[in-house]
């Protein structure tokens, strides 16, 4: 069955009808005209009509099958692959990790999956194709704007595995459209579209929503690259017109500020994937000349809320999302949330869609009758002068109710020794929460979004401390 219908001229009518609840289809692009710029590539700007033509040409070349593992690092290549997959009736698989173990699991769980990437033999043993070189895709006029059934599952996003194995979460087209519009409205992008530069992978839920969906359904445009090093971030910002928004993480933002490079003028900075300290937000606003906002959400729930960090601790729900409380668990539903999703955080709801976060349930620690959270401990150690990066860790198998439980801290602090770090912690923490041991390292094993997964910390613990030394 052809999932697309309606002509290009009917796109605005279709979008309006869906907003009124009288249609079951939504356009592929809802907030940009055919001659508006969607992407900024090394070869120059790409307009919506050119994007649709590239997607149509690629769709004819994709391997058969129901699933497309879109591993393109170039944000424009990903966008074309995603749209081409829609045109072929495929579902986009988007793992947060591209480790061989993860890819093998996907191959077993999704028979017939094929891959799209910039490198040959990206997934040995699976059918796939390398994204065509420039000039290979023959553009022809697309006769109609693709219209996608709102209830159709178009993507499966996977959790990062922060607290266990990555879990799949199905996303329907209607909810993704609402997602993009809700976030863009909350950040003021619908009224003033920005050029988006992202340091996070577009496959990850944060990068997918805050760069790709904010372009398709928020009227923005995005830089095709995924800069990582500070000099590359500066160059990417310089290559796109204002107003500009940097979509990043505390890890990347801290490295950018520490580089000392002169920064191009920015108009908004967006951060997610880890808590952003007020100290870092203050330094970022001073250096970037732009307000720093945070996004709160998860792969399961999508982005739920935002705040300007320096305005205070309260978060503001986006769109028509609602929170419901049952016992100690808070659920998100309504708006662009797929179903009713339990949240991993302890949440205190206020009025008008405002709420406070009090840490993740899994991060709460009880040692000898005293309570704290890993988030609080990480904030305290990260605020010590000379500490570049740090993380507390409660090893697997530890009983958080036992008096003998000892936390471990992994610390990157060039120029400091363990004694100096511990002296700083003694001024900030109850003695029961001081780490035993404190391990100094040259770097922590953060992933491409700046996260430290529990699995990575457990491996680090076994390599540097070992279970024989974990509880004394």
Residue 328 binned pLDDT confidence (cut-offs 50, 70, 90): confident
pLDDT at res. 16: 39
User: CATH number for the domain including 379?
Assistant: 3.30.300.30
Count of domains observed in the chain = 2
CA distance 223 to 20: 33
Residues 351, 278 within the same domain:
yes
Which of 330, 361, 392 is the last residue in one of the domains?
361
Q: Are residue 356 and residue 372 in the same domain, yes or no?
A: no
Task: Report the pLDDT value the prediction gives residue 295, as an integer from 0 to 100.
Answer: 97
Strand intervals (E) in 97-201: 114-117, 128-130, 147-149, 153-158, 168-172, 195-198
> Same structural domain for residues 330 and 395?
no
Q: What is the pLDDT of residue 430?
A: 86
Dist CA 457 CA 393 (whole Å)? 7
* C-alpha to C-alpha distance for 295 and 274, rounded to whole angstroms: 10
Q: Are residues 347 and 451 located together in one domain of the fold? A: no
Q: Give the Cα separation of 303 and 57 in Å (integer).
A: 32
* 111 & 167 share domain: yes
Indicate if 306 and 391 belong to the same structural domain.
no
Query: How far is it, in rounded angstroms, from Cα 205 to Cα 12?
Result: 27
Task: Report the chain's mean pLDDT, rounded to a whole number.
Answer: 88
Please report, for residues 255, 348, 449, 450, the alpha-carbon distance to residue 263 in angstroms, rounded to integers and kept in the order given. 13, 37, 21, 21
CA distances from 458 to 69, 448, 465 (A): 28, 18, 10
Beta-strand relationship, 153-158 and 91-94: parallel
Confidence of residue 18 (pLDDT cuts 50, 70, 90): very low
Q: pLDDT at residue 405 above 90? A: no
| Per-residue DSSP letter, 131 | P
Same domain, 380 and 350: no
> Residue 437: its pLDDT value, please?
92
- Residue 354 sits in the same domain as residue 386: no
Same domain, 270 and 413: no
Q: What is the pLDDT of residues 177-201, one digit of tens each?
A: 999 999 999 999 999 999 999 999 9
Domain that holds residue 89: 1-361
pLDDT surpassing 70 at residue 335:
yes
Whole-angstrom distance, CA of residue 247 vs CA of residue 200: 7
Split at pLDDT 50, 70, 90, the class of 96 is confident
Whole-prediction pTM: 0.81
In a shared domain, residues 355 and 382:
no
Query: Over the stretch 128-152, which tens digit does the pLDDT of each residue have?
Result: 999 999 889 999 988 888 999 999 9
pLDDT tens per residue across span 240-263: 999 999 999 998 999 999 999 999
Is the domain of 113 the same as that of 235?
yes
Domain C-terminal end among 361, 383, 407: 361
Q: What is the pLDDT of residue 304?
A: 97
**Strand, helix or coil for residue 192:** coil
Q: Is the domain of 80 the same as that of 201? A: yes
pLDDT at 368: 63
Percent of the chain whose predicted confidence (pLDDT) is above 70:
90
């Amino acid at each position: 069955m052809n999932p697309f219908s309606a002509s290009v001229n009917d796109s605005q009518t279709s979008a309006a009808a869906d907003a009124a609840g009288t249609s079951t289809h939504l356009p592929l692009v809802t907030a940009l005209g055919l001659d508006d710029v969607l992407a900024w590539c090394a070869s120059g700007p790409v307009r919506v009509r050119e994007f649709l033509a590239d997607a149509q040409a690629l769709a004819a070349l994709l391997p058969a099958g129901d699933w497309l593992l879109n591993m393109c690092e170039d944000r424009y290549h990903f966008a074309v692959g995603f749209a081409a997959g829609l045109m072929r009736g495929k579902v986009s698989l988007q793992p947060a990790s591209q480790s061989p173990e993860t890819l093998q699991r996907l191959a077993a769980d999704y028979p017939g999956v094929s891959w799209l990437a910039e490198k040959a033999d990206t997934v040995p043993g699976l059918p796939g194709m390398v994204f065509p070189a420039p000039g290979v895709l023959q553009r022809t006029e697309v006769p109609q704007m693709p219209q996608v059934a709102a209830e159709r599952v178009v993507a499966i996003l996977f959790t990062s595995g922060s607290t266990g194995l990555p879990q799949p979460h199905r996303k329907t087209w209607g909810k993704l459209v609402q997602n993009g519009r809700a976030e863009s409205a909350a950040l003021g992008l619908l009224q003033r579209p920005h050029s988006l530069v992202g340091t996070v992978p577009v496959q990850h839920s944060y990068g997918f929503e805050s760069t790709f969906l904010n372009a398709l359904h928020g009227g923005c445009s995005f830089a095709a690259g995924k800069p990582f090093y500070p000099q590359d971030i500066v160059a990417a910002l310089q290559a796109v017109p204002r107003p500009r928004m940097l979509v990043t993480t505390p890890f990347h933002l801290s490295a950018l500020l520490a580089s000392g490079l002169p920064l191009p003028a920015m108009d908004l900075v967006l951060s997610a994937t880890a808590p952003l300290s007020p100290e870092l937000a203050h330094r970022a606003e001073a250096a970037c000349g732009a307000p720093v906002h945070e996004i709160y959400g998860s792969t399961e729930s999508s982005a739920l809320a935002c705040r300007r960090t320096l305005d205070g601790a309260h978060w503001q729900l986006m769109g028509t999302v609602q929170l419901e409380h049952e016992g100690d668990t808070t659920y998100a539903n309504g708006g662009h949330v797929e179903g009713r999703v339990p949240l991993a955080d302890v949440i205190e709801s206020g009025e008008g869609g405002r709420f406070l976060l009090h840490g993740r349930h899994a991060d709460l620690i009880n040692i000898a009758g005293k309570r704290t959270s890993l988030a609080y401990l990480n904030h305290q150690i990260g605020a010590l002068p000379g500490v570049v990066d740090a993380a507390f860790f409660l090893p697997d198998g530890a009983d958080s109710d036992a008096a003998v439980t000892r936390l471990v801290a992994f610390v990157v602090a060039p120029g400091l020794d363990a004694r100096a770090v511990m002296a700083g912690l003694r001024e900030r923490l109850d003695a029961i929460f001081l780490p035993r041991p404190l391990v100094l390292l040259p770097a922590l094993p953060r992933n491409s979004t700046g996260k430290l997964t529990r699995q990575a910390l457990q491996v680090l613990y076994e390599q540097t401390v070992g279970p024989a030394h974990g509880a004394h």
